């Protein structure tokens, strides 16, 4: 497996919103079992990158290849079935549905009830609060609880690749720690993740490698532990604020 193809390869992706060029040729790859951080200032194109991978945004050009299949013409539900789950920015839970119902919909592409039941138990271990809130409407949970539910809902699809968009957004600091502990546990279990995060320190601590986006382009990439002490990361952020 030494020369195995990456699980996900994004190649020269360009995405426009009308006149806004959100992505101007982004390339990155994620290998099986890796945690990759995607960081950068607000508006750099991080969410758009994730949305083009999961089929919510359409690329003008470039390709997304997942496990050997070109997926950027597929619909979002098809992409979930291929094995990519996306926990989106702002969580996007079904607020009028209970915790149980949200998780059940997370698993709606699966046809192995036993596996779903096992994974539900796993979610209770990872996020014990979900068991307590089981019957409660998702809209009534706190920000941190909602974020845990959003992660669990994505995990219920039993994905091969997990896309995470700002799991610390709107979460109380104490719970941020808790959520990143859970992500570290997932990493230990071998889950492949592409993580978008405003909190660079946290992201680089968890990730194996990282890409720094700046106004729709990859400004910098490398080993996470090296980027942690690299001044150019901070410069990339400052540059975007010019």
Partner 1 sequence: MSQLEYIIQQIINAVSLGSLYALVAVGLSIVFGVLKLTNFAHGDVMMVGAFTTVLLIGIGMPFAPAMLCGILASAVAGFLIERIAYRPIRNAPDVTRLLTSLAVTYILENLGILLFTSSPRNFPLPDILNTSWQLSGGAITFTNINVLTVALTFVSLIGLGWFITRTTIGLGMRAAAEDMQAAQLVGLNVNKVIIIAFIVASAYAGLAGVLWAAQAGVVQPQMGFTPLLKAFVAAIIGGFGSISGALLGGYMLGALEIFIVAFMPDVVVPYRDAIVFALLIAFLLFRPGGLMQPNREIKL
Ligand X SMILES: Nc1ncnc2c1ncn2[C@@H]1O[C@H](COP(=O)(O)OP(=O)(O)O)[C@@H](O)[C@H]1O
Where along the sequence are the contacts to ligand X (CB under 6 A)? 17, 20, 22, 40, 42-48
* Smallest separation (angstroms) from ligand X to the CB of 69: 24
Tokens of 158: 């039993």
Length of the chain in residues, anyone?
242
Residue 42 binds which entry of ligand X, partner 1, Mg ion, none, with Cβ cut-offs from 5 to 8 Å by kind?
ligand X
Q: Are 10 and 26 in contact (CB under 8 A)?
A: yes
Separation between Cα atoms, residue 224 and residue 150, nearest integer Å:
25
Residue 75 binds which entry of partner 1, Mg ion, ligand X, none, with Cβ cut-offs from 5 to 8 Å by kind?
partner 1
Among positions 21, 24, 31, 104, the unique one binding partner 1 when judged by CB under 8 A: 104
* Smallest separation (angstroms) from Mg ion to the CB of 47: 3
Q: What is the DSSP letter of 138?
A: G
Cβ-based nearer residue to partner 1, 95 or 128: 95
* Contact pattern from residue 59 through residue 88 relative to partner 1, giving x for each residue in contact according to CB under 8 A and a dash for the rest: ----------------xxx--xx----x-x
Q: Per rule CB under 8 A, is residue 177 in the interface with partner 1? A: no
E strand spans, 40-171: 61-66, 69-70, 84-87, 161-165
* Smallest separation (angstroms) from Mg ion to the CB of 77: 22
Q: What is the 3-state secondary structure (H, E, C) of 185-212?
A: HHHHCCCEEEEECCCHHHHHHHCCEEEE
Residue of 116, 114, 144, 111 lying closest to 130 (CA atoms): 144
- Please report where in the chains the tokens 């609060």 appear, as a residue: 129
Tokens of 228: 């942690």
Q: Are 144 and 171 in contact (CB under 8 A)?
A: yes
* Smallest separation (angstroms) from ligand X to the CB of 49: 7
Cβ-based nearer residue to Mg ion, 89 or 205: 89
Residue 45 binds which entry of partner 1, Mg ion, ligand X, none, with Cβ cut-offs from 5 to 8 Å by kind?
ligand X
Cβ-based nearer residue to ligand X, 50 or 126: 50
List contacts with Mg ion (CB under 5 A): 47, 89
Among positions 58, 60, 73, 92, the unique one binding partner 1 when judged by CB under 8 A: 92
Q: Per rule CB under 8 A, is residue 169 in the interface with partner 1? A: no
Cβ-based nearer residue to partner 1, 33 or 96: 96
Residue of 117, 87, 82, 109 lying closest to 183 (CA atoms): 87
* Smallest separation (angstroms) from Mg ion to the CB of 196: 6
Element (DSSP H or E) covering residue 170:
none
């Amino acid at each position: 497996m030494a020369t195995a193809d990456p699980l996900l390869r994004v190649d020269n992706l360009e995405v426009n919103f009308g006149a806004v060029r959100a992505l101007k040729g982004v390339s990155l790859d994620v290998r099986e079992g890796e945690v990759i951080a995607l960081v950068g200032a607000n508006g750099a194109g991080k969410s758009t990158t994730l949305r083009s991978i999961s089929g919510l945004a359409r690329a003008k050009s470039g390709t997304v290849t997942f496990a050997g299949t070109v997926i950027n013409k597929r619909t979002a539900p098809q992409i979930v079935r291929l094995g990519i789950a996306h926990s989106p920015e702002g969580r996007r839970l079904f607020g009028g549905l209970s915790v149980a119902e949200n998780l059940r919909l997370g698993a709606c592409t699966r046809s192995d009830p036993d596996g779903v039941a096992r994974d539900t138990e796993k979610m209770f271990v990872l996020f014990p609060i979900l068991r307590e809130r089981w019957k409660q409407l998702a809209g009534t949970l706190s920000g941190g609880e909602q974020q845990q539910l959003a992660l669990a809902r994505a995990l219920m699809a039993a994905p091969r690749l997990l896309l995470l968009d700002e799991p610390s957004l709107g979460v109380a600091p104490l719970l941020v720690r808790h959520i990143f502990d859970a992500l570290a546990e997932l990493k230990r279990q071998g889950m492949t993740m592409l993580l978008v995060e405003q909190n660079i320190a946290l992201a680089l601590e968890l990730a194996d490698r990282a890409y720094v986006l700046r106004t729709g382009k990859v400004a910098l990439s490398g080993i996470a532990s090296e980027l942690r002490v690299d001044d150019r990361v901070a410069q990339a952020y400052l540059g975007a604020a010019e």
